[in-house]
Amino acid sequence: MKKLPEPVRLLRPHHWIKSGFVAAPLFFTPLALGWYTIAQVALGMVAWSLAASFIYILNDWRDRESDRLHPLKKNRPLAAGTVSEPLARVMMVGLAVTAATLALSLSLPFAVCLAVYVLINLAYSWKLKHIAVVDVMCIALGFVLRVEAGALLIDVETSPWIMIMTGLLALFLGFAKRRDDIIKQLGTEHRKALDGYSRNFIDTALAITLGSSLVSYLIYTTEAQKNAYYTAPFVIFAMFRYLQIALVEERSGSPTLIFLTDKPILAAGLGWVLTFAFLLYT
């Protein structure tokens, strides 16, 4: 596969898949589906992706020295020196302005939600990522805000259980990522928050968040219409497959790449989408 240009790599486009959470409220609300709402949500996903890329570049710029000590992150464009710092700063300004303009053109509540996401990530970049547990909670909150932003775009209320499940799932993935850092024996010179983690603590946290998120999803599906609980096997399999990757294969350092490349998880995800869509729209 052809390698992406270094400035494009700096944007981390494979992480834009996370913006799909913005579309979740529309997917779960058939009555709101229409060309206008589809366009609104699509533009909202673009705005969120641009804002996320701004944050990624900012983090890479701040972490460029510590990233050089990481076995994989040392290859990031700023750490490796393949993208100049002046160009990175220009890209950050362009992304921030474009994301803000697009968000405000969609709706003020959506723009406020996106602004909260950016502010939390700025606090994360400067301080909060160095505090164990708080660092993972900041990441989880970002996913919850994506879902809330999608609901604001189409003016619907989301199920509390979907919001809870989203946050718990993101916590699960975040703890699995920290476990990978410990497995790779990264020192606190790379990530200070690792001082507050141990393998036993993280394995316990993984069990708690996995179980809680599954229960939350099952409660949601039993409350939803049209036998939505039939989709539960796909979710259960995907989550246990990810747990297998984290605990057995010990390669949970990049959740996004796992979701994009792991065939069992991809198959479960496709089965979930098709089954849920059939139950909702037929």
Average pLDDT value for the chain: 91
Q: Where are the domains of the chain?
A: 7-157, 159-282
pLDDT at position 273, please? 95
**For residue 65, is pLDDT > 50?**
yes
- List the CATH code of the domain at 7-157: 1.10.357.140
86-91: average pLDDT: 93
CA pair distance 199, 69, nearest whole angstrom: 21
CA pair distance 267, 265, nearest whole angstrom: 5
pLDDT at position 216, please? 94
CA pair distance 154, 150, nearest whole angstrom: 7
- pTM comes to 0.91
Four-CA torsion 155, 160, 145, 269, nearest 10 degrees: -100
